[in-house]
């Protein structure tokens, strides 16, 4: 499993969180296959260094970086506009950016920071890039989730509350939202040639994920991860497999782990819930009339 000879010459990929961890490895793998890869995150120094390293290792000089802060709706809109105007196509969108241990506070958009960085920002970005993904079809969206989703819950009246969720439950809720969004997205783009799948990377070694959490917790987590975790190159390979393998071109609405179709969260079958999540997410990020490709579809 996870092995594919797929060549991506002529294809364009966006990898959020491509400056570090598994996103960096995914971007590297896609670059080795010949794709033009745009990596996106907040820190320009990290992005530049990642771009240089990917170019050097892959021998592919079509690697670009763009600034993106998922914790700011304005930043997501600017990034999406930039991609929509500068790229003629978009074949692959890999959503791996995320963070834990963030302060429990509201953003300038009035949303819970943890929810915004780990879910709302990704929802908005994907929504805005959908027209370009559609016009480039067959194209693929790969959404990073985690096993934490199994303990997550969605309380639409409280999901932006401060002081309600702890370090673990807040991230679990985001991962559940990403997984359910991924399935609802599949339902909404059926027949367009765009696929939407989520994946669980299990536990990954040598990433920056624990940098924001208190030092004692960080040391314990890192020890645990070093013993049990997968090499991050391995996870990058898994993501690239989902993004590139020809046999997955039409596979959509699935959840993957270790490159296998994996048992998804039971709530994916609750279509009323996933529909409600979609509508509530559109409202939370303030999708405008012009951005609303669902309303703009000629029936």
Ligand X SMILES: NC(=O)c1ccc[n+]([C@@H]2O[C@H](COP(=O)([O-])OP(=O)(O)OC[C@H]3O[C@@H](n4cnc5c(N)ncnc54)[C@H](OP(=O)(O)O)[C@@H]3O)[C@@H](O)[C@H]2O)c1
- Which helix (H) or strand (E) element contains residue 160? none
Q: Which residues in the 197-226 window bind ligand X by CB under 6 A?
A: 201, 203-204, 207-209, 225
Task: Report residue 294 as tokens.
Answer: 């669902």
Residues 6+ apart with CB under 8 A from 42: 67, 68, 69
Among 74, 182, 153, 185, smallest CA distance to 121 is for 74
Of 15-23, 153-161, 184-192, 258-266, the segment contacting ligand X by CB under 6 A is 15-23
Q: Which of 13, 117, 240, 277 binds ligand X (CB under 6 A)?
A: 117
Q: How far is the CB of 294 from ligand X (least distance, A)?
A: 25
Select 100 or 142, whichever has its Cβ closest to ligand X.
100
Select 125 or 244, whichever has its Cβ closest to ligand X.
125
Select 25 or 91, whichever has its Cβ closest to ligand X.
25
> What backbone torsions phi and psi does residue 290 show, to the nearest 5 degrees?
-65, -35
Name the one residue in this structure whose structure tokens are 């079809």: 137
Of 67-75, 125-133, 245-253, 255-263, the segment contacting ligand X by CB under 6 A is 67-75
Site map (CB under 6 A) of ligand X, residues 126-155, x = contact: ------------------x-x---------
Of 21-29, 104-112, 182-190, 286-294, the segment contacting ligand X by CB under 6 A is 21-29
Residue 176 has a CB neighbour count (10 Å cut-off) of 24
Name the one residue in this structure whose structure tokens are 């009323």: 272
The answer to whether residue 70 forms part of the interface with ligand X (CB under 6 A) is yes
Residue 118 DSSP one-character state: I
Q: How far is the CB of 221 from ligand X (least distance, A)?
A: 9
Among 258, 198, 266, 260, smallest CA distance to 234 is for 258
Select 56 or 208, whichever has its Cβ closest to ligand X.
208
Q: How far is the CB of 38 from ligand X (least distance, A)?
A: 13
Please work out, in degrees rounded to the nearest 5, the angle formed at the alpha carbon of residue 158 by the alpha carbons of 154 and 159: 55
Task: Report residue 97 as tokens.
Answer: 């950016």
Q: Which of 11, 28, 33, 42 binds ligand X (CB under 6 A)?
A: 42
Task: Report residue 140 as tokens.
Answer: 């693929």
Strands annotated E in 210-296: 255-257, 260-261
Largest CA distance in the chain: 57
Dihedral of CA atoms 136, 140, 145, 147 in degrees, nearest 10, equals 170
The answer to whether residue 22 forms part of the interface with ligand X (CB under 6 A) is yes
Across 16-48, b (16+ Cβ under 10 Å) vs e yields: bbbbbbbbbbbbbbbbbbbbbbbbbbbeeebbe
The answer to whether residue 234 forms part of the interface with ligand X (CB under 6 A) is no
Q: How far is the CB of 23 from ligand X (least distance, A)?
A: 5
Of 40-48, 81-89, 135-143, 191-199, the segment contacting ligand X by CB under 6 A is 40-48
Task: Report residue 274 as tokens.
Answer: 């996933």
The answer to whether residue 36 forms part of the interface with ligand X (CB under 6 A) is no
Q: Which of 60, 96, 182, 274 binds ligand X (CB under 6 A)?
A: 96
Select 109 or 298, whichever has its Cβ closest to ligand X.
109
Q: Which of 17, 152, 236, 253 binds ligand X (CB under 6 A)?
A: 17
- Residues forming contacts to ligand X in the complex (CB under 6 A) are 16-17, 19-23, 41-43, 46, 68-71, 96-100, 117-118, 144, 146, 201, 203-204, 207-209, 225
């Amino acid at each position: 499993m996870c092995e594919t000879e797929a060549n991506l010459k002529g294809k364009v990929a966006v990898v959020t969180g491509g400056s570090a961890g598994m996103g960096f490895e995914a971007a590297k793998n896609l670059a080795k296959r010949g794709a033009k890869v745009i990596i996106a995150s907040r820190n320009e120094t990290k992005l530049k260094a990642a771009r240089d390293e990917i170019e050097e290792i892959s021998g592919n000089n079509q690697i670009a970086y763009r600034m993106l802060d998922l914790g700011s709706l304005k930043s997501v809109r600017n990034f999406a506009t930039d991609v929509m105007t500068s790229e003629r196509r978009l074949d692959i969108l890999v959503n791996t950016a995320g963070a834990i241990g963030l302060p429990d506070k509201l953003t300038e958009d009035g949303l819970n920071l943890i929810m915004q960085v780990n879910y709302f920002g990704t929802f908005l970005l994907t929504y805005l890039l959908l027209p370009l993904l559609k016009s480039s079809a067959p194209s693929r969206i790969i959404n990073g989730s985690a096993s934490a989703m199994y303990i997550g819950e969605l309380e639409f009246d409280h999901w932006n509350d401060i002081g309600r969720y702890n370090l673990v439950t807040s991230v679990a809720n985001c991962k559940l939202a990403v997984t359910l969004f991924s399935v609802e997205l599949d339902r909404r783009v059926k027949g367009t040639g765009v696929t939407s799948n989520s994946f669980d990377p299990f536990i990954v070694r040598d990433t920056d994920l624990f940098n924001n959490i208190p030092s004692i917790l960080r040391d314990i987590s890192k020890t645990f991860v070093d013993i049990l975790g997968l090499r991050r190159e391995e996870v990058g390979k898994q993501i690239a497999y989902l993004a590139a393998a020809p046999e997955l071109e039409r596979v959509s609405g699935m959840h993957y782990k270790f490159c296998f179709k994996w048992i998804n969260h039971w709530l994916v079958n609750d279509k009323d819930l996933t529909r409600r999540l979609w509508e509530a997410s559109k409202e939370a990020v303030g999708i405008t009339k012009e951005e609303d490709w669902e309303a703009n579809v000629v029936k």
